[in-house]
Amino acid sequence: MTKVVDRSPLTFYERTYLPAILEGIKVTARHFARTVQGQNTAKDLSGGYYPETPWKVSEGYRGAPYLVRDQEGATKCVSCQLCEFVCPPKAIKITPPGPDGQAADRANAEKMPREFEINMLRCIFCGLCQEVCPEEAIFLRNDYSLTGLSREEMVYNKEKLLGLGGVHAGVQKWKHKAEEARAQETFPVKV
Amino acid sequence: MPEPVASSHPITIDPTMSNAVTNAPAAPPPVEKVRVKVDGREIEVPKTMPDWQGKMQPTTMLQACKIAGVEVPHYCYHHKLPVAGNCRMCLVEFSTPMMDPATRKPVLNEDGSPKMARSVLPYEPQTPRGAIACATPISPGMEIHAASPATKQMREAVLESLLINHPLDCPICDQAGECKLQEYSVQHGQAASRFVEPKVHKPKAVDLGPRIMLDDERCILCTRCVRFTRDVAGDDALGIVNRGSYNTIASAPGRSFDNNYTLNTVDLCPVGALTSKDFRFKMRVWFLKETPSVCTSCATGCSVTVGSREGIVHRYEPRENDAVNGPWMCDSGRLNYRWIHRPDRLGKVLLRGAESDWTSAIAELAALLGSAPKGSVAFVASSRQTTEELWLVSRIARKLGALTDTVAREGEPDRLLVSADKNPNSQGARLTGVSFTEAGVTIPEIARGIDEGRIRTLVVLGEDVTKAGISSETLARVGNLVVSDILPNATTAAAHVLLPGCAHVEKRGTFINGKGRIQRFGKAIEPRGDARAEWEWLQELAVALGAVEPSRSIEGLFNRMASDVPALAGVEWARLGDLGVTVPV
């Protein structure tokens, strides 16, 4: 479908500019009247003005990405580094555990990151980390106002990310695998 | 069209292989050819091709497909291992020309072309019968249907069966990213699993040996590791135990899998069952920058790929080079990289103990060496340095009339790859004239010269001479001790001028291995601190002394060297390629 845009020259009436100015004044006056009567739209929605009354975000809002724990308080991240790979602004930096790293919270998940850093100054809140995560360990939460006094402070480490992320109950596949393996106690077959 | 499957057993190196300059291979004998069709395209392939040991054997369907440029997925087949034919992944449908049983003549179509008979199950002639491409020889006129619906279905079914008990723990698996099970699942597998029963669980994180970790759940029982260690490494240490779906890889009872070639099984393992303890959970493979390089642990000079990320070397892997190491390398060489990141690496230019910079250090050196009387300077270089650097040393030494030598380093050889000469570039030192055939014979003469006061200036590059025949007392008598090294030692501690050097992964250059193979290596990471590639400052010094004409790059320097050193005549940097060139030694 083609939409034809009217590009005919301005009429004398339009070229005087005054009608447009008057239209603008009308809008301002309408808002002024509403504010005086206490009917401001922003106030209606959030019950107040922004810094004093924080803005309530809706479901599915893409705020700051944080790490989450499972319902038993175990770190879900297994340091697969897919988020680090997919992150478009390279905001994520993961230090893998290495051969002699700390044991994972969930025994048969075998590993978890030694360090997990997100540079919130670099993050563009695109949500690709959440989408790519095979462990449901990172989520874009509701935080939209991130402040700090230095650049270093805006690099959130693993401890801070886990603290802010809270708990996200999930499938617990590693636990199920461990249970399934325990049920097969006949292995290795004794002869 | 890709090269036919490479020849020769890794241990018996084939001297006729590849682009040797001087000992050019003799014209190959005429090869009998067979015409076959791959996916409808007719090609001509040799009737026999080298097997894993280099013996001529009837060409297989897999080799024919490779020549045709058609990839047949496979797990257990490896061109340098005996064929086992157990994974069934390379099953393909094929047809052969129909033969009249009575007349023994080919049956023809109406247009005169031979009538083809698809291979079918004898008891069920409507069902295609596949054959494993890795072990089935071709026959004249055969047609291989590598992309037919039946072939695709067979691959799908094999993959499904392999994945039945596979744990799918890719997020925690070191192989993820270079896993054939992942790759083929994407290319040939099904999108969803139909298997609803609980999977069979097997032991995880089994300690198989000092360097190997085994995850039995991930294993697809291809037996590549078993065949490698039995037939190539000559240590029959691995086998399969238990029955049916409880099959597991295990080392012989009471034995540890600990020969010097165990880590090759990690490379061979198409899945994440065998993983390296050294590389375990260190870095995901898709982040690694791969730089072609050469192992420096002995004079064999195995071709390697250095995997590094953001200035940190994470692993060495063998790079296939039939003129040197085949596809293998030893564990000791592979793990010999940690010193690169030692915290005590030398990183500052020191002029008589005071911190300085390269410009003033080179100016001082040039003044010192330029004014030195003939015969008052000696060089002890290292056969761990590149050929270019050794050549620059020899040019400077020739200009100054100085004695030169390198330090010999001997060790235990083995019957596979490890050489008794532990220096990667002894031949480079010999060919450039820095050392004699027997390295280290001039060092006592240098020591005597220092003691008698004839030699006032000693330049040491990358060696601790206190352990090589010049005692600390003798070293203390040297008026000007110039030392370039990577790690601190007794000689660097005594240096008047100390120049921080580069590891080979931090610079470019070439090594000449014991058999005369020149191989070049690339720069994987940046040098630490003020460290600078030795060839850069050696060249600046040589130019200042009027010993060589300046070259702007390592390529130019190499070509200048090649035109000066008789043994390297005709060799050019650009012709070295990734596999190198053999020169007479």
Could you tell me if B267 and B398 lie in one domain? no
Could you tell me if B149 and B248 lie in one domain? no
Q: Is B195 on the interface with A (CB under 8 A)?
A: no
Q: Is A13 on the interface with B (CB under 8 A)?
A: no
Note the pLDDT of residue B446: 94
Segments making up each domain of chain A, as ranges: 12-46, 65-168
In a domain, B486, yes or no: yes
In a domain, B254, yes or no: yes
Chain B residues whose CB is inside 8 A of the A181 CB are 201
**What ipTM was assigned to the predicted interfaces of this complex?**
0.84
Below-70 pLDDT ranges, chain A: 40-47, 186-191
**How many residues are there in chain B?**
585
Q: Which of B274, B173, B293, B154 is nearest to B223 (CA)?
A: B274
Residue B255 is part of a domain; what is its CATH number? 3.30.70.20
Residue B549 is part of a domain; what is its CATH number? 3.40.50.740
Could you tell me if B370 and B439 lie in one domain? yes
Handedness of CA B560, B561, B562, B564 (dihedral sign): positive
Q: How far is B191 from chain A (nearest CA, A)?
A: 16
Who contacts B158 (Cβ-Cβ below 8 Å, separation ≥6)? B87, B88, B89, B91
**Backbone angles phi and psi of A157, in degrees to 5:** -90, 180
CB contact under 8 A, B283 and A177: no
Q: How far is CA B272 from CA B116, B205, B239, B268, B357, in A?
A: 42, 11, 17, 10, 48
Below-70 pLDDT ranges, chain B: 1-29
Could you tell me if B540 and B568 lie in one domain? yes
Chain A residues whose CB is inside 8 A of the B283 CB are 96
In a domain, B328, yes or no: no
CB contact under 8 A, B172 and A189: no
Of B269, B287, B305, which one is at a domain's C-terminal end?
B287
Q: Which helix (H) or strand (E) holds B460?
A: strand B457-461
Q: Which of B184, B256, B190, B260 is nearest to B228 (CA)?
A: B260
Could you tell me if B377 and B257 lie in one domain? no
In a domain, B317, yes or no: no
Q: Is B246 on the interface with A (CB under 8 A)?
A: yes
Chain B residues whose CB is inside 8 A of the A180 CB are 198-199, 201
CB contact under 8 A, B171 and A78: yes
Give contacts of A 78-97 with B, CB under 8 A.
78-82, 84-85, 96-97
CB contact under 8 A, B248 and A188: yes
Q: Which helix (H) or strand (E) holds B497?
A: strand B497-500
CB contact under 8 A, A180 and B200: no
What is the chain B residue with the closest CA to A80? B171
Q: Which of B510, B378, B504 is nearest to B432 (CA)?
A: B510
Query: Among the residues of B79-179, which ranges form H helices?
Result: 149-163
- Burial of A107-119, coded b for 16+ CB within 10 Å and e otherwise, reads ebbbbbbeebbbb
pTM: 0.86
In chain B, how many domains are there? 3
**Backbone angles phi and psi of B213, in degrees to 5:** -115, 135
DSSP A167: B
CB contact under 8 A, A177 and B201: yes
Could you tell me if B282 and B384 lie in one domain? no
Q: Which domain holds residue B228?
A: 169-177+196-287
- Give the domain A65-168 fold: Alpha-Beta Plaits (3.30.70)
In a domain, B184, yes or no: no
Closest in A81, A99, A109 to B278, CB measured: A99
CB pairs under 8 A between A and B: 65
CB contact under 8 A, A188 and B203: yes
Gap between the Cα atoms of B371 and B366, Å rounded? 8
Q: How far is CA B187 from CA A32, B73, B215, B332, in A?
A: 65, 9, 24, 36
Gap between the Cα atoms of B122 and B117, Å rounded? 13
What is the chain B residue with the closest CA to A112? B172
Average predicted confidence (pLDDT) for chain B? 91
Could you tell me if B84 and B218 lie in one domain? no
Q: Is A185 on the interface with B (CB under 8 A)?
A: no
In a domain, B301, yes or no: no
Of B287, B314, B334, which one is at a domain's C-terminal end?
B287
Q: How far is CA A139 from CA A63, A116, A155, B557, in A?
A: 9, 14, 17, 54
Who contacts B128 (Cβ-Cβ below 8 Å, separation ≥6)? B93, B118, B119, B120, B121, B148, B150
Q: Is B172 on the interface with A (CB under 8 A)?
A: yes
Q: Is B280 on the interface with A (CB under 8 A)?
A: yes
Chain A residues whose CB is inside 8 A of the B202 CB are 187
Class of residue B445 by CB neighbours under 10 A (exposed 0-12, middle 13-18, buried 19+): middle
- The residue type at B386: T
- Backbone conformation region of residue B474, classed left if phi is above 0, alpha if psi is from -120 to 50, else beta: alpha
Could you tell me if B146 and B173 lie in one domain? no
Could you tell me if B411 and B464 lie in one domain? yes
- Burial of A158-177, coded b for 16+ CB within 10 Å and e otherwise, reads bebbbebbeebeeebbbbeb
Chain A residues whose CB is inside 8 A of the B310 CB are none
Q: Which of A75, A79, A80 to mutate to test the interface with B (most CBs of B within 10 A)?
A: A80
Both structure tokens of B364: 């001082």
Gap between the Cα atoms of B50 and B225, Å rounded? 21
Class of residue B18 by CB neighbours under 10 A (exposed 0-12, middle 13-18, buried 19+): middle
**Backbone angles phi and psi of B137, in degrees to 5:** -70, 155
Say if CB B434 and CB B393 are below 8 A apart: yes
**Backbone angles phi and psi of B63, in degrees to 5:** -65, -40
Gap between the Cα atoms of B472 and B490, Å rounded? 8
Note the pLDDT of residue A125: 95
Q: Is A172 on the interface with B (CB under 8 A)?
A: no
CA A148 distance to own-chain centroid: 18
Q: Is A177 on the interface with B (CB under 8 A)?
A: yes
CB contact under 8 A, A134 and B171: yes
Q: Is A180 on the interface with B (CB under 8 A)?
A: yes
Gap between the Cα atoms of A44 and B533, Å rounded? 69
Who contacts A121 (Cβ-Cβ below 8 Å, separation ≥6)? A91, A151, A154, A155
Q: How far is A76 from chain B (nearest CA, A)?
A: 12
Could you tell me if B407 and B530 lie in one domain? yes
CA B14 distance to own-chain centroid: 16
- Residue-wise pLDDT for B276-307, tens only, equals 999 999 999 999 999 999 999 999 999 999 99
Could you tell me if B58 and B202 lie in one domain? no
Say if CB B428 and CB B515 are below 8 A apart: no
Of B287, B307, B332, which one is at a domain's C-terminal end?
B287
